[in-house]
A = this chain, B = another copy of it.
Amino acid sequence: MTNDFPTNRPLILISNDDGIDAPGLRALVSALSGLGDLCVVAPLTEQSAVGHAITVRDPVRARPWPFETPPDVVAAYAVTGTPADCVKLAIDKLVPRRPDLVVSGINQGPNAAVNVIYSGTVSAATEAAILGIDALAVSLCRWRGGDFGPAGRYARRIAAGVLREGLPPGVLLNVNVPALPLGEIRGVAVTRQAHSRWEESFVDRVDPSNQPYYWLTGRFVNLDEGADTDLAAIDDGFVSVTPLHYDLTAYEALDALRNRSWDG
């Protein structure tokens, strides 16, 4: 860890959950170029749906990565771990100074509604928020392919705004960009997480040794009619920006539970 390059520019740590080779990561690096010094610390392999997993029973390794670097990239590493591992290890060991901002993405696929819970992309930004660093997670609402350009433009715009104005303590931004041409995106909407669930239906198969196995599949069900949700904004062609925190307390339930007898 050295301090031998200019420190008057913001330091932006970039991570993701699709892995160091993902096109969305390259698009994000290009999009943020010029905003500050960029460090890329991303998982060596895809880590989708890992939630907020961290690696506690095995060591992790960080490999300097020959990232095709715009001049602003001051360091790049691939880490044998989860997105949360990447952020923790980067901040403790890999980046030259404490980052001013962490940006995670650009994820291939939306991370809205209940999917926030499962998202590795969001977990990298959450980990930064826990460590007291402003952070955003950015996702393109399309499961395969598509143009990351418009999402990159909005990532840059929102990142610049956060660098300028900061975020409330403990709050990160979850950004979902509709898969539309830039000119068809109607702007930014600040939203809440829609209430939703997956209805699972595992597919059963039998292997050549006649043993059963299951593939997770499911149908996403939106249970929320609100116009102020992330899903509604995306459907309407807006970039959804949802402030998230990591206090999971259901405050609205505290009083009723305090009035119960627990001595049963």
Closest residue of chain B to A256, judged by CB?
B168
Chain A 157-175, CB within 8 Å of chain B: the 1/0 string? 1101100110110110100
CB-CB under 8 A for A253 and B168, given A202-B89, A205-B59: yes
Whether B52 and A132, one on each chain, are in contact in the complex, defined by CB atoms closer than 8 angstroms, is no
A187 in the interface (beta carbon within 8 A): yes
Q: Quick check: is A26 within 8 A (CB to CB) of the other chain?
A: no
Is A5 positioned at the interface, with any CB of B under 8 Å from its CB?
no
Q: Which residues of the other chain, B, contact A260 by a CB distance below 8 angstroms?
A: 161, 165
Kindly provide the distance from the CB of A80 to the nearest chain B CB, expressed in whole angstroms.
9
Stretch at the interface among A6-14, A95-103, A236-244: A236-244
Contact A264/B161 with A51-B50, A243-B253 known, Cβ cut-off 8 Å = yes
Task: Decide if A22 is an interface residue (CB 8 Å cutoff).
Answer: no
The verdict on A182 contacting chain B, using a C-beta distance below 8 Å, is: no
Copies in the complex: 2
CA of A257 to CA of B245, assembled, Å = 14
Whether the pair A161, B192 counts as a contact (CB closer than 8 A) is no
Residues on the B chain within 8 Å of A130, using CB: 114, 117, 197-198
Q: Which residue of B is nearest A85, CB measured?
A: B216
Out of B52, B57, B250, which one reaches A244, CB within 8 Å? B250
Contact B54 A246 (CB under 8 A): no
On chain B, the residues within 8 Å of A85 by CB distance are 216
Closest chain B residue to A62, Cβ basis:
B214
**Whole-angstrom distance between the Cβ of A40 and the nearest chain B Cβ:** 18
Q: Are B92 and A201 in contact (CB under 8 A)?
A: yes
Interface contacts beyond A168-B253, A171-B253: sample of 11 additional A-B pairs, CB < 8 Å, sorted by A = A46-B57, A49-B55, A51-B54, A59-B215, A84-B118, A130-B197, A168-B256, A188-B263, A190-B257, A192-B249, A242-B249
